[in-house]
Structure 1
Amino acid sequence: MEEAHPGLHEGAADDSCGECLDLTSCQLHDLDGIEIPRSLVELELTANRLSELDPRIGELSLLKKLCLRQNLLTDESVEPLSRWAAISGLHELVLRDNKLTKLPDVSNFKNLLLFDVSFNEISSLNGLSKVSNTLKELYVSKNEVTKMEELEHLHELQILELGSNRLRVMENLHTLKKLQELWLGRNRIRAVNLCGLQNIRKLSLQSNRLTSMLGFQECIALEELYLSHNGISKMEGLSTLINLRVLDVSSNKVTEISDIEKLTRLEDLWLNDNQIVSLEGIESAVASSKEKLTTIYLEHNPCAKLPDYASMLRNVFPNLQQIDSHVFL
Structure 2
Amino acid sequence: MASGEGAGDAQAAAAGGDAEVKMETEDQVGPELCLDLTSYQLHDLSEVEIPPTLEEVDLTANRLSSVDPRIGRLAGLRKLSFRQNLLEDAAVAPLSSWDAIGLQELVLRDNKLTKIPDASIFKGLLVFDVSFNEISSLTGLSKVSSTLKELYVSKNEVAKMEELEHFHALEILELGSNRLRVMENLETLTNLQELWLGRNRIRTVNLCGLKLIKKISLQSNRLTSMDGFQECIALEELYLSHNGIQKMEGLSTLQNLRVLDVSSNKLTAIENIETLTRLEDLWLNDNQIPSLDGIEAALAGSREKLTTIYLERNPCAKTPDYTSTLKKIFPNLEQIDSDMIA
Give TM-score, length-normalised by structure 1. Answer: 0.97
Q: Which runs of 5+ in 2 are unaligned?
A: 1-10, 26-30
Residue 200 of structure 1 aligns to a residue whose secondary structure is: coil
1:205 lines up with 2:215 in the alignment? no
Query: What is the aligned partner in structure 2 of residue 56 from structure 1?
Result: 70
Q: Which residue among 244, 255, 268 is the counterpart of 1:255?
A: 268
Q: Which residue among 36, 40, 43 is the counterpart of 1:22?
A: 36
Give the 5 Å matches for 1:147-166.
Answer: 147-166=160-179
1:133 lines up with 2:146 in the alignment? yes
Deviations 1:22-79 (A, max 9, x none): 0000000000110100100100000000000001001100000000000000000000
1:6 positional shift:
1.9
**What is the CA–CA distance in structure 2 between the aligned matches of 1:73 and 1:221, rounded to whole Å?**
39
Q: Which residue among 279, 297, 301 is the counterpart of 1:288?
A: 301
1:70 lines up with 2:103 in the alignment? no
Residue 2 of structure 1 aligns to a residue whose secondary structure is: helix
Query: What is the aligned partner in structure 2 of residue 235 from structure 1?
Result: 248
Query: What is the aligned partner in structure 2 of residue 109 from structure 1?
Result: 122
**What is the CA–CA distance in structure 2 between the aligned matches of 1:211 and 1:274, rounded to whole Å?**
14
Query: What is the aligned partner in structure 2 of residue 179 from structure 1?
Result: 192
1:143 lines up with 2:156 in the alignment? yes
Query: What is the aligned partner in structure 1 of residue 341 from structure 2?
Result: 328
**What is the CA–CA distance in structure 2 between the aligned matches of 1:9 and 1:325, rounded to whole Å?**
44
Residue 21 of structure 1 aligns to a residue whose secondary structure is: strand
**What is the CA–CA distance in structure 1 between the aligned matches of 2:175 and 2:134, rounded to whole Å?**
13
Deviations 1:286-311 (A, max 9, x none): 00100000000000000000121010
**What is the CA–CA distance in structure 2 between the aligned matches of 1:230 and 1:169, rounded to whole Å?**
15
1:3 lines up with 2:9 in the alignment? no
1:265 lines up with 2:275 in the alignment? no
**What is the CA–CA distance in structure 2 between the aligned matches of 1:7 and 1:179, rounded to whole Å?**
37
Work out whether residues 274 and 300 of structure 1, in 8 Å CA contact, stay in contact via their aligned partners in 2: yes
Query: What is the aligned partner in structure 1 of residue 7 from structure 2?
Result: none
Work out whether residues 103 and 126 of structure 1, in 8 Å CA contact, stay in contact via their aligned partners in 2: yes
1:9 positional shift:
2.1
Deviations 1:249-281 (A, max 9, x none): 000000000011000000000000000001001
Work out whether residues 54 and 74 of structure 2, in 8 Å CA contact, stay in contact via their aligned partners in 1: yes
1:19 positional shift:
1.1
**What is the CA–CA distance in structure 2 between the aligned matches of 1:101 and 1:131, rounded to whole Å?**
17
1:218 lines up with 2:218 in the alignment? no
1:18 positional shift:
6.8
**What is the CA–CA distance in structure 2 between the aligned matches of 1:280 and 1:70, rounded to whole Å?**
51
Residue 87 of structure 1 aligns to a residue whose secondary structure is: coil
Counterpart amino acid of residue 259 in structure 1: N
Counterpart amino acid of residue 6 in structure 1: E
1:82 lines up with 2:82 in the alignment? no
Residue 81 of structure 1 aligns to a residue whose secondary structure is: helix
**What is the CA–CA distance in structure 2 between the aligned matches of 1:7 and 1:135, rounded to whole Å?**
29
1:193 lines up with 2:203 in the alignment? no
Q: Which runs of 5+ in 1 are unaligned?
A: 12-16
Work out whether residues 152 and 173 of structure 1, in 8 Å CA contact, stay in contact via their aligned partners in 2: yes
Work out whether residues 40 and 62 of structure 2, in 8 Å CA contact, stay in contact via their aligned partners in 1: yes
Residue 138 of structure 1 aligns to a residue whose secondary structure is: strand
What is the root-mean-square deviation of aligned Cα atoms in Å?
Answer: 0.9
Deviates more, 1:305-314 or 1:138-147: 305-314
Residue 110 of structure 1 aligns to a residue whose secondary structure is: coil
Residue 33 of structure 2 aligns to a residue whose secondary structure is: strand
Counterpart amino acid of residue 204 in structure 2: A
Work out whether residues 21 and 32 of structure 2, in 8 Å CA contact, stay in contact via their aligned partners in 1: no
Give TM-score, length-normalised by structure 2. Answer: 0.93
**What is the CA–CA distance in structure 2 between the aligned matches of 1:328 and 1:18, rounded to whole Å?**
50
Residue 303 of structure 1 aligns to a residue whose secondary structure is: helix
**What is the CA–CA distance in structure 2 between the aligned matches of 1:25 and 1:9, rounded to whole Å?**
19
Work out whether residues 2 and 25 of structure 1, in 8 Å CA contact, stay in contact via their aligned partners in 2: no
Residue 55 of structure 2 aligns to a residue whose secondary structure is: strand
Work out whether residues 2 and 26 of structure 1, in 8 Å CA contact, stay in contact via their aligned partners in 2: no
Among all aligned residue pairs of Structure 1 and Structure 2, give the percentage whose two residues are the same amino acid.
Answer: 74
Counterpart amino acid of residue 115 in structure 1: F
1:213 positional shift:
0.1
**What is the CA–CA distance in structure 2 between the aligned matches of 1:229 and 1:81, rounded to whole Å?**
40
